[in-house]
Homo-oligomer: A and B are copies of this chain.
Amino acid sequence: METRARILHESGELLREKGMAGFSMRGVAERVGVSATALYRHFEDKDALLATLLEEGFSTFGRYLMRALAGKTPLERLRRAGHAYFDFALEHPRDYALMFMTPCRELGLDSVSEGAKARMDGTFVFLVDRVKECIAAGVFAEQDPRSTALHIWATVHGLASLRLNGQLEDLDERAFRQHVEFTLDRIEASLAPASARRR
């Protein structure tokens, strides 16, 4: 792997291990196996490194979400979006934590927070569109699509962040995946129109 890519990779690892408080250029350099100053040939400064990490995280996340569009029905596309969300969180926990679990103010990236905010809004719009499809198709009750989308986001984010924070350590990977299914089932059940709720 190229040095630059390795720097980004080890940055993510260190960030997850030690948090923002323990993240340092020296720490990254040591993991990569170069001197601390070498990093400055690849990134202007510490903020630029973090900003790049954040940006690449959003790019990857966007690709994951796009998988959802392969679904053939509105409900299936929403379901796939849910799976894509958890796939990303579990396969890129460092990126997920940086993107969704770190307060903007804590990042201290004034310049990049604009871009991050735009990315976040874009993600939310994608979700709102999936919800609108479901409402139009009659599989969801007629409710404010934005409230509904926010409810879905909060629910999946809550589960993902409890998992990544280590608060569900007694669940193994398989049990967690099962709970994901349970969660997606509950979301669908809670949004179905009254006519669809009889079993």
Contact = CB atoms under 8 A, between A and B. Distances in A.
A156 interface: yes
Chain A's interface: helix, strand, loop or mixed, by majority? helix
Given A158-B156, A158-B159, A198 B187 contact: no
A66 interface: no
Nearest to A23: B21
Nearest to A117: B167
Contacts of A168: 150
Interface stretch (A37-45, A53-61, A130-138, A189-197): A189-197
A17 interface: yes
Interface stretch (A26-34, A67-75, A97-105): A97-105
A190 B189 CA distance: 5
A6 interface: no
Given A19-B106, A103-B166, 11 more contacts: A19-B20, A19-B21, A21-B21, A150-B179, A153-B162, A154-B183, A157-B158, A158-B158, A189-B190, A190-B190, A194-B198
27 contacts: A18-B105, A18-B106, A19-B21, A19-B103, A21-B23, A21-B106, A97-B103, A100-B167, A101-B101, A102-B165, A103-B166, A104-B165, A104-B166, A105-B166, A147-B179, A150-B159, A153-B162, A154-B155, A154-B183, A158-B159, A161-B161, A187-B190, A189-B189, A189-B190, A190-B190, A194-B197, A198-B198
